[in-house]
Chains A and B, each alone.
Chain A
Amino acid sequence: MSTSRNEKLSAFVDNELTTEEMQCLELDEVQQSTWMRYNLIGDVMRDDVPAQLQFDITDRIADALENEATLVSLEQKKVSFGQRVVDKLANVTQFPVLQRTVQVGVAATVAAVAVVGVNQYAGQQEVLEDTSPIPVLQTIPTAGSASPVSLSTQRPILEQRSQSATQQQQRLNSAYFEHQKMMKLKQTQVEAEKEDKDNKQQ
């Protein structure tokens, strides 16, 4: 962050900014923490500090947790089971002697996992297709699936999968918050569009 921006921020904290300047001051996270620090400095200088300073992040964490929506993944049972098996196997295969024997084992297990997984998926699909408005809710915060074919490829697939799962979860969370935000801004937009139309008519 540039010094001039910091200066502006400081001026803002001291109420020395004009409105136009204030509107340019859109703060990112780093700047926000700077802003809070400046406020604190200001408080210290003005002797406004409470007897005990509290650097408490618990409610911020609580806030974040609260806002976390509940995710129902259709494949989540398959994931947890498959992942557990794969993790276990990964530990075992640390020993080279065991590796070959395990490889055969993996193939068999994977086949079993795949079958179980497909069955479960089909079952859950029905739930989703069902006319009942709400399927069973579960609080598992991860999504994605793992279906390794052989030992050599299992790691990359897992990583790729979990990456897309994170990306997907971020996208869903972000859509949820955007919706809340757009509902707040709705009124403004409607008014603005109305004004637009009026202006055009004139």
Chain B
Amino acid sequence: MRAIFALCFSLITGGAALANPVETSPKVTLWLEKLQHGLQGLNYDISYVHVRGNHVEPYRWLHGNFEGHELEYLMTLNGRPKELVRKNNVISHFDVERPPFSLQETALFGPVPEIFYTDKASELNQFYEIVVAGKSRVSGKPAQLLRFNARDGERYDFWIWLDMQTGLPLKTAFIDQKGQALEQIQVTSLVVTETVHPNLAKLHTAQLPQPIDLGQFSKKPLSAKWKFKALPEGFQIIQSNQHYLSRSKELADYFLMSDGVVDVSVFIQQPIKQATSPTLLHNGATTVFFVNKGAYDVTIVGNIPLKLARRISDSIRIE
């Protein structure tokens, strides 16, 4: 009798699991909502360091809501100052080496993937098992770890530690299959205030450059009917065109794909004679993989393991 009972139970639960394989646990949803509301709704002043291999880059990051406007500010602290200012969905770039310009964007290129600014973060559950893991002390504050474990085991895991009080990020890391952190962002100070930071309030009245219409940089269609035979699950092509790369001035067929956590660029170009193929570059979690495919060269860039980069390059076909 007990066996039948157990069988029934397992059938019910198994059936439920099959019918709803990607249901997000309420605990996860709660934390993701807290993160989203924290990122968008609070007035905060954060200092953090971005650790990539041997490179450490410190930043200052301010955010606030003032008179119905969302204001955000990001500045590099080492070397030549580079500053980003966001007022609602217009982001202005400042750099002494070039004239300032503005672009229309919805999320500041800060330390957290854009998806966490939206309510779509729980959809990542399809491709990443989202686990509310242990509590620990990070940046001097009690923190809750959320682990995004790649379900296919082919991409890096993404870990994010949230301030238990405010839900703001205190640390993020890309972790490889050996459990080593390849790239990390570590908050060193986090101050949340009732009122907006005075400097941000000043930005509200400052005159910022008019946003550039990107439509004027119209891009050409691809030179061939490229087809990816099998994209890794969850990756979607969000951009494809042909354009000249800004540094080397070389023409490339270009694809940008994303699974929400990581972005991957694919460049298909004229082959270089006698190039070393395949070649691999690493910078933190970023892989640059170059391979010659006979009539064309493929370069893949993104925060993915070499194996996945190789798989993407192997799946390219001409229709």
Contact = CB atoms under 8 A, between A and B. Distances in A.
Interface in A145-202: 145, 160-161, 164-165, 167-168, 170-179, 181-192
B79 A168 contact: no
B258 A186 contact: yes
Given A171-B248, A171-B297, 20 more contacts: A19-B210, A22-B99, A66-B79, A69-B286, A69-B288, A70-B281, A71-B279, A132-B177, A135-B306, A144-B276, A160-B274, A161-B274, A175-B299, A176-B301, A179-B263, A182-B265, A183-B263, A184-B105, A187-B105, A189-B239
A186 B239 contact: yes
Interface in A120-137: 128, 131-135, 137
B289 to A, nearest CB: 9
A74 B212 CA distance: 43
Interface residues of A, number: 59
B238 A192 contact: no
B8 interface: no
Nearest to A71: B281
Interface residues of B, number: 62
Query: Across chains A and B, which 10 residue pairs bring their CB atoms closest together, nearest first?
Result: A133-B305, A174-B248, A174-B247, A179-B301, A179-B265, A69-B283, A59-B79, A175-B299, A187-B105, A164-B274
A168 B271 CA distance: 10
Given A133-B177, A164-B272, A182-B239, A72 B282 contact: yes
B314 to A, nearest CB: 12
Contacts of A135: 280, 306
Contacts of B105: 184, 187-188
Contacts of A25: 99
Query: Is chain A's interface secondary structure helix, strand, loop, or mixed overall?
Result: helix
B286 A70 contact: no
Interface of B: 53, 55, 57, 79-80, 96-99, 103-107, 109, 114, 156, 176-178, 182, 209-210, 212, 214-216, 238-239, 245-248, 250, 254, 256, 258, 263, 265, 267, 269, 272-276, 278-283, 286, 288, 290, 297, 299, 301-302, 305-307
B281 A172 contact: yes
Given A178-B265, A179-B302, A188-B103, A168 B283 contact: no
Contacts of B79: 59, 62-63, 66
Contacts of B104: 188, 191
A142 to B, nearest CB: 10
A181 B246 contact: yes
26 contacts: A23-B212, A27-B98, A59-B79, A62-B79, A69-B282, A69-B286, A71-B279, A72-B281, A128-B278, A128-B280, A133-B156, A133-B307, A134-B182, A143-B279, A144-B274, A168-B275, A168-B276, A171-B269, A171-B297, A172-B288, A172-B299, A175-B299, A178-B301, A182-B263, A188-B105, A190-B238
B248 A183 contact: no
Interface of A: 12, 19, 22-23, 25, 27, 32, 35-36, 59-60, 62-63, 66, 69-75, 128, 131-135, 137, 143-145, 160-161, 164-165, 167-168, 170-179, 181-192
A189 B215 CA distance: 9
Contact of A177 (B97, B178, B246, B276): B246
Contacts of A62: 79
B246 A171 contact: no
Contacts of A161: 274
B253 to A, nearest CB: 12
Nearest to B264: A179
A165 B272 CA distance: 9
Contacts of B98: 27, 32
A173 B274 contact: no
B288 A174 contact: no
Given A71-B279, A73-B276, A185 B288 contact: no
B283 A171 contact: no
A188 B215 CA distance: 10
Contact of A32 (B97, B246, B302): B97
Contact of A74 (B80, B114, B278): B278
Contacts of A167: 272, 275
> Most chain-A CB neighbours within 10 Å: which of B55, B176, B248, B286?
B248
B290 A182 contact: no
A37 B142 CA distance: 51
A164 B267 CA distance: 18
